[in-house]
Chains A and B, each alone.
Chain A
């Protein structure tokens, strides 16, 4: 206790000085709120891996026909599911205190007096949480409430210091939203539109760390700002769909910079309600639902739904009835297990939080948030394909590369857009830059084992390089050879080209013909030339193909001899005229 007291008293100096306290948030103030957590970037890898894995799995399943038990599109039973998704808002400090929201700090070092529920403490709303929360509200197309209030939800648990969680039960932040999943963007079989019932702000709990024979409690997470997103029940054609809904929610929230990434880090957790009913009669009510608590990966969500639906179907087919209960997921046994039944259900005794004033949002503040909303993933794809002329595949690659951080100034897509903006506009430049960013630069970064944040080629230098190509100053092969050098050479490409005389050589037709002749002045060359001359006038498909290969050989030879500094089309036409002459 003395240790805690020491730490918390250090924190006090901080919080006494800088507790801003806003009921109404003026528009001007809201705009300047920043929403970056200290260490979110470094931790984004696991969730990205998870996302990719789930997508790969979905793809594989589609190819070989989905796993029988996880598909519900056929058979006698319809499966319905509702999600309650908890995700941590992207803020530096906690919901009601000025302790940091760190996921990497040593246990029990980010605690203020209120987080430890010391006697005599009161919560003060941190206004910085409103920006990410409202972005989430708009991203999920919800209607924000002009006035929302906080309530206390009571239950005893050792990681819940106050004995209650402050949440929004009676008057939540926003209601009535929707989320659309499409086969193209999200890999679902058919378009799925689901309703978001409400979004509420709430406190996180502490974390229990198992250290047999003890359980250790880390209070760093206590009071971290969460939003809970509650969906209406929606029909499931397969358990994977639920995972995809979660992935979509996460992608959307990441895109608008609302939440901290990563299910593994507690950045996103879900409770899933599952019910089954006989297929066919749309008038029958939904079946009795069971809630599976605290699922923290996409795989756990998918597996838990599969297992729970099977369990319920088995009971019903044996003539039994489903009892409404709360269940937990056993990862090792891959089954759900009963936590408590209806009679053991916790009565949360919701009570209005007497210390906190309501959140009153002015329409100006809401408009300000709306105006500065980053683009959603679907909107980014549309923009990249329609405005920048990228193929949908390349657009998705860029989006995936960003792991949903496309709104950030240091994201790949911002980099891409900046490079395009820096180049004197020319037709098709968007596609060319796309190619260079994704395939050339992306390939090099991967082979160097770097993360995107460590990309050594600044936007100006890549723009310079691409301009050189577009303006016909250097050839593609020169540019390709130049790019890797830019990783270590800090000069701009134009400078290097100038210094090393890498620019395209302007040559007359005769000069070129001479060069070609020199290049073909070998045994193999002479043989190629002979064949080409023989095939003159032969327009058959086989001959065309053969000719193409042979001409490629000539071209390659010339390029090699000239260090790639001649234009390929000029060489081609010189070759044509040479063949005419022969």
Chain B
């Protein structure tokens, strides 16, 4: 018989320290109730057994009593996006093709979280293989954003492709969720659901066990209610991994880390009040942006200015080419990555293929959804010998230009850019450059699912316009819930999660201060008044 936690003074201190309102068992029970109450959200594809969650929570609680908690994450409930491999739950990628696929190994990120005592509550629903922005392309049904009433809960998009992860956190079904962000798939849902959604610099978190959509863009992202939780997970996962050749090695991490430390020390020492210089990219103020979003952006900048930041207008001239480049590169890599799903060694196999006449054409035709097939065809075309030069190669060039755009506006040089003769230590800092960029994450608030269904493909793709550039450049970006309806994105130089978080935490405090709250409320009122412009 386990003593109730609340009666134990020592334990309650620990619990307070870990940010739990109650003990792990209470927290788990609450989450399980929320999971049962919110089945209609379609947030999960597969759930961990309740008794497993509760027994894990019990163990964590016992450790809490003995003051033997492994880590701040011990006993915390974590949901994993269904394209991240887990050894105890299927990894379906929300695809009929892999509906029963059981991975024989845990992804490195999952393994690290489990080591710290985190409890995996389930696998979250998503757009099939991460291809989509509203989590509607799933055989498990579309994900919807949790609302205050059941009817409202079914009406709005939770964003995508990590929509299930966002919905699970927003509805209290877990504390923290892992997602993946290829072109905005963590930030967009976080923006729609009023959460913190963080995409780290490319190569910081291991992708071993993360099912590839577009390898050169894929990152593991973290979604939670508060930046503290996101940062805690980030610290646990931010390590090199020999199984992932794109995961940055210790040497590079230390080198860039030193440069960033230096930079921020100099910033604090030399500038008045150590203030940040915030870049506002003019090109991001696109026509399609909702008026309320624009107002909120203004309000955010005004708030930051009052906090003591210097607001600097900047130009990222190749921004408008970023979206088309992304929609050539990502499908190209996807068409290659998804070639392995043929139903022969694993996965769903079509009956016709078992008869012997065909081998896997029917399997692939039936196993993939419309959007996945569309992108495979798109990518197959842009890689074909006749189109390669005009599409894939051009898009790679655009990607490089987008990257250069960012490098030219940041004060700090890109730590990965080592093609020149000069050593990175000797490269000058751009004295007029900015430290971070602040812009909205999404054009507007979460659209109604019925409207999403009416959108054309290009309209859907256009929704990623504000998130894609940071993905192409591999930069760290976090969407902060300045409003519950639209998030503000903070983008830093590669590897500069430190600067990015400092500004992001300012935004998190915006609603707590009087001025900030007033600014946000005004902007939000405008957001409510104006319908989405399509």
Stretch from B103-111, B113-121, B227-235, B479-487 forming part of the interface with A = B103-111
Interface residue? B442 (CB, 8 A) = no
Interface residue? B11 (CB, 8 A) = no
Task: Determine how close the nearest CB of chain B comes to the CB of A193; give it in whole angstroms.
Answer: 33
Stretch from B16-24, B70-78, B162-170, B337-345 forming part of the interface with A = B337-345
Residue of A nearest to B380 (CB): A349
Residue of B nearest to A124 (CB): B245
Stretch from B144-152, B208-216, B305-313, B316-324 forming part of the interface with A = B208-216
Interface residue? B48 (CB, 8 A) = no
Q: Mark B382-420, 1 if CB is under 8 A from A, else 0.
A: 011100100010000000000000000000000000000
Is the Cβ of A164 less than 8 Å from the Cβ of B339? yes
Is the Cβ of B333 less than 8 Å from the Cβ of A351? yes
Which residues from chain A contact B296 at a C-beta distance below 8 Å?
A: none
Is the Cβ of B104 less than 8 Å from the Cβ of A12? yes
Which residues from chain B contact A1 at a C-beta distance below 8 Å?
A: 345-346
Task: Determine how close the nearest CB of chain B comes to the CB of A358; give it in whole angstroms.
Answer: 11
Chain B interface mostly helix, strand, loop or mixed?
Answer: loop
Is the Cβ of A347 less than 8 Å from the Cβ of B211? no
- Knowing A119-B211, A349-B383 touch, does A5 contact B336 (C-beta < 8 A)? no
Residue of B nearest to A163 (CB): B339
Is the Cβ of B242 less than 8 Å from the Cβ of A156? no
Partner among A124, A156, A162, A347 whose Cβ is within 8 Å of the Cβ of B243: A124
Is the Cβ of A21 less than 8 Å from the Cβ of B340? no
- Knowing A21-B245, A120-B91, A354-B216 touch, does A8 contact B104 (C-beta < 8 A)? yes
Interface residues of B in 324-369 (CB under 8 A from A): 332-333, 335-336, 338-340, 342, 344-346, 356, 359-360
Partner among B98, B336, B383, B388 whose Cβ is within 8 Å of the Cβ of A119: B98
Is the Cβ of A113 less than 8 Å from the Cβ of B105? yes
Is the Cβ of A351 less than 8 Å from the Cβ of B392? yes
Residue of B nearest to A6 (CB): B104
Is the Cβ of B332 less than 8 Å from the Cβ of A351? yes
Interface residue? B315 (CB, 8 A) = no
Interface residue? B134 (CB, 8 A) = no
Interface residue? A235 (CB, 8 A) = no
Interface residue? B85 (CB, 8 A) = yes
Which residues from chain B contact A158 at a C-beta distance below 8 Å?
A: 342, 344, 359-360
Task: Determine how close the nearest CB of chain A comes to the CB of B381; give it in whole angstroms.
Answer: 9
Interface residues of A in 1-15 (CB under 8 A from B): 1, 4-5, 8-9, 12, 15
Which residues from chain A contact B335 at a C-beta distance below 8 Å?
A: 349
Is the Cβ of B243 less than 8 Å from the Cβ of A117? no
Partner among A16, A20, A123, A163 whose Cβ is within 8 Å of the Cβ of B340: A163
Is the Cβ of A161 less than 8 Å from the Cβ of B340? yes
Task: Determine how close the nearest CB of chain A comes to the CB of B90; give it in whole angstroms.
Answer: 11
Interface residue? B518 (CB, 8 A) = no
In the assembled complex, the Cα of A120 lies from the Cα of B332 at a distance in Å of 18
Which residues from chain A contact B105 at a C-beta distance below 8 Å?
A: 9, 12, 113, 120
Interface residue? A355 (CB, 8 A) = yes
Interface residue? B461 (CB, 8 A) = no
Q: How many residues of B contact A (CB 8 A)?
A: 46
In the assembled complex, the Cα of A119 lies from the Cα of B84 at a distance in Å of 9
In the assembled complex, the Cα of A115 lies from the Cα of B332 at a distance in Å of 22
Is the Cβ of B385 less than 8 Å from the Cβ of A349? yes
Is the Cβ of B385 less than 8 Å from the Cβ of A356? no
Q: Mark B183-219, 1 if CB is under 8 A from A, else 0.
A: 0000000000000000000000001111110111000
Which residues from chain A contact B101 at a C-beta distance below 8 Å?
A: 119
Is the Cβ of B336 less than 8 Å from the Cβ of A164? yes
Q: Mark A321-362, 1 if CB is under 8 A from B, else 0.
A: 000000000000000000000000001011100111100000
In the assembled complex, the Cα of A491 lies from the Cα of B298 at a distance in Å of 98
- Knowing A21-B242, A120-B212, A123-B245 touch, does A156 contact B342 (C-beta < 8 A)? yes
- Knowing A156-B339, A163-B340, A164-B339 touch, does A120 contact B103 (C-beta < 8 A)? yes
Residue of A nearest to B214 (CB): A354
Given contacts A124-B243, A349-B384, A354-B215, 8 further A-B contacts (CB under 8 A): A118-B104, A119-B101, A123-B245, A161-B345, A164-B336, A347-B385, A349-B336, A354-B333
Give 28 pairs: A residue, B residue, CB < 8 Å, sorted on A.
A4-B345, A12-B105, A21-B242, A116-B345, A117-B345, A119-B93, A119-B103, A119-B211, A119-B212, A120-B103, A120-B210, A121-B208, A122-B244, A123-B245, A156-B360, A158-B360, A162-B340, A163-B336, A163-B338, A351-B332, A351-B333, A351-B336, A351-B392, A354-B214, A354-B215, A355-B215, A355-B245, A355-B246
Which residues on B are within 8 Å of A, measured CB to CB?
Answer: 84-85, 91, 93, 98, 101-105, 107, 207-212, 214-216, 242-246, 249, 332-333, 335-336, 338-340, 342, 344-346, 356, 359-360, 380, 383-385, 388, 392
